[in-house]
Structure 1
């Protein structure tokens, strides 16, 4: 092996260590703040940050500025939707569906991932809360702004504290799908997620906030799955993430200490972070597992009586039912696509 090859291997090892360190320190610190201080929707902070770090190992100043503006503007859009129009359920549901589709479409442009993530969560949650109590919608919107801005700030600070050794050589123009493919993928994600959202809106289900956050994040991940079938992806992320949440919850019941909680989260984030950066092809799966675990566990630890009124296992059951539905629909869509392919051959 030549000297240049040795240097390349060494740089790749350094890059791996830096990214894993950044991921673990970021997720653990975010959990300490969210679970230790607590505010409206505080559990979303570590969920967003973990997703940002997994999706974007490389950062720049322009992205940071865009994200802060995107979060504030998006939440304002969600609040505007929740005011007045909630008196007209059919129009509200059509508008929510349209904005969800637009969020999926934007998400498939790498420049707008963060904006699309916040937009989707905002338009699902805020109108839902505005139907019954506009004050709670404003409370959640404020909490979402705080969590989102904190996630962006933490994202930038972590990249500043732990810069990539190869950052200058790795910045490149991301590949953007064609308009037709983006529309197709957006429609598919909407078909999978929207009926569940309509069900929650119509019946005003107790504890739906946590499940809708979970569905929103998971449905965004569906649009990026390439090598893994959607049904298998959902099954694995939901099952592993849910099991991790249950294990950590049961351990916390036996030892209800904050330091012990942080130690458990450190261990899990270290294991998942290592897999994300060691095997990039499996990063969407690992990131999905982490999101599922943080949503379920974080929603319990930092639970707010204004938002979540179910027990831990009640939330698990609700998310499980939603997951079964999403998996079933995605499998049917896969079978339909295969049959269409066979007909054209």
Structure 2
């Protein structure tokens, strides 16, 4: 009888299939998006729409949280927001030193972004650099409000990330290497690529800062984030990829927004998020090679919809489509400048080889 029970238990302990593992990750991704959007849009703190964006990034980039991962993410948010707040404390009264400090912080973000272990830190740093000093020019209290909101969004995303993995842990490892990969570029290459990315983004950022174009804050933040992706050796291809993801994300956002206008209910909003998350989640986890494309589509969608829903403007329809147009223009700008710089770099390499 005991032998039969052992045989029965052996039969029951069947290892999970790869499909079951993927389904668990898709379900966790959809559930995380719905919960994060419900909290962000339901409570509505400053920059609350950023929390779902962060969480979606965590669930795609980090398959399993560790104490080191969570503590590093929390440290990244705390340090970078403190940097942004300190910048906006007094230097905003001096335009040239402010722009010089901005360029230094942006260069640091680009340099760190090319090291996978500092990827998220660099992302938060770039957001803080783009938004906090600019808000400090308008009002120091507004900069504090934005800083607190950014920190809150990050903390919410990290806590939800850990909670989701606690409630829905991976059934079994799916050939994942949990150790962070190291940068494949040398120090000199990272410096060069950082300078190239800074050359692409800084002129338009300086323009926004100098003329204080408050209506283009989201565009400025997008340029900063998009330029992070160009901090590599194929900036034109990356820029084309970013334009593609933003176009798809913008089209999905338009359809989503028009449906939401026809049925303006919170539960309907969350249902649409769940539906889109399910469709994109299947693409992300079933096709890892194309995961960055679909993850980028979801990020663009969450930023556009979140900023529109969180807006108190009565001209929400106009501002929504203006945001989409601005992001498309920012993507095109990135492609044009990246093409010029890459072509110049190619000519320099040909000249050096001929010599």
TM-score between both structures, scaled by the size of structure 2: 0.87
Deviates most, 66-75 or 169-178: 169-178
In the alignment, which residue of structure 2 is the partner of 1:166?
Answer: 173
- Residue 187 and residue 160 in structure 1: after superposition, are their counterparts in 2 closer, same or farther (change >3 A)? farther
Aligned partner of 1:76 among 65, 79, 82:
82
- Residue 285 and residue 341 in structure 1: after superposition, are their counterparts in 2 closer, same or farther (change >3 A)? farther
In the alignment, which residue of structure 1 is the partner of 2:252?
Answer: 244
- Give me the whole-angstrom Cα distance separating, in 1, the residues matched to 2:146 and 2:45: 9
Shift of 1:250: 1.2
Shift of 1:297: 1.2
1:37-186 correspondence runs (5 A):
37-164=43-170, 165-166=172-173, 170-177=177-184, 178-186=186-194
8 Å Cα contact 2:235-2:342 kept in structure 1: no
Q: Are residues 1:211 and 2:219 paired?
A: yes
Q: Are residues 1:331 and 2:339 paired?
A: yes
In the alignment, which residue of structure 2 is the partner of 1:4?
Answer: none
- Give me the whole-angstrom Cα distance separating, in 2, the residues matched to 1:227 and 1:237: 15
8 Å Cα contact 2:117-2:180 kept in structure 1: no
8 Å Cα contact 2:236-2:342 kept in structure 1: no
- Residue 85 and residue 341 in structure 1: after superposition, are their counterparts in 2 closer, same or farther (change >3 A)? same
8 Å Cα contact 2:222-2:330 kept in structure 1: no
Deviates most, 258-267 or 222-231: 222-231
Computing the radius of gyration from Cα coordinates, the structure with the larger value is 2
SS at match of 1:59: coil
Shift of 1:13: 2.1
8 Å Cα contact 1:67-1:115 kept in structure 2: yes
When the two structures are aligned, how many residues end up with a matched partner?
336
Deviates most, 101-110 or 41-50: 101-110
- Residue 191 and residue 51 in structure 1: after superposition, are their counterparts in 2 closer, same or farther (change >3 A)? farther
8 Å Cα contact 1:11-1:166 kept in structure 2: no
Shift of 1:95: 0.5
Deviations 1:294-324 (A, max 9, x none): 111111011256xx99721222222222222
TM-score between both structures, scaled by the size of structure 1: 0.89
Q: Are residues 1:235 and 2:240 paired?
A: no
Shift of 1:341: 5.1
In the alignment, which residue of structure 2 is the partner of 1:258?
Answer: 266
8 Å Cα contact 1:230-1:330 kept in structure 2: no
- Residue 334 and residue 280 in structure 1: after superposition, are their counterparts in 2 closer, same or farther (change >3 A)? farther
8 Å Cα contact 1:47-1:295 kept in structure 2: yes
Shift of 1:175: 2.6
- Give me the whole-angstrom Cα distance separating, in 2, the residues matched to 1:314 and 1:45: 23
Shift of 1:118: 1.1
- Residue 309 and residue 98 in structure 1: after superposition, are their counterparts in 2 closer, same or farther (change >3 A)? farther
8 Å Cα contact 1:101-1:187 kept in structure 2: yes
8 Å Cα contact 2:245-2:293 kept in structure 1: yes
1:278-289 correspondence runs (5 A):
278-289=286-297
8 Å Cα contact 2:117-2:182 kept in structure 1: no
8 Å Cα contact 1:35-1:298 kept in structure 2: yes
Taking only aligned residues, the RMSD between alpha carbons, in angstroms, comes to 2.5
Structure 2 residue runs without a partner (length 5+): 1-13
- Give me the whole-angstrom Cα distance separating, in 2, the residues matched to 1:111 and 1:276: 22
- Give me the whole-angstrom Cα distance separating, in 1, the residues matched to 2:203 and 2:255: 31
Shift of 1:337: 4.0
- Residue 238 and residue 65 in structure 1: after superposition, are their counterparts in 2 closer, same or farther (change >3 A)? same
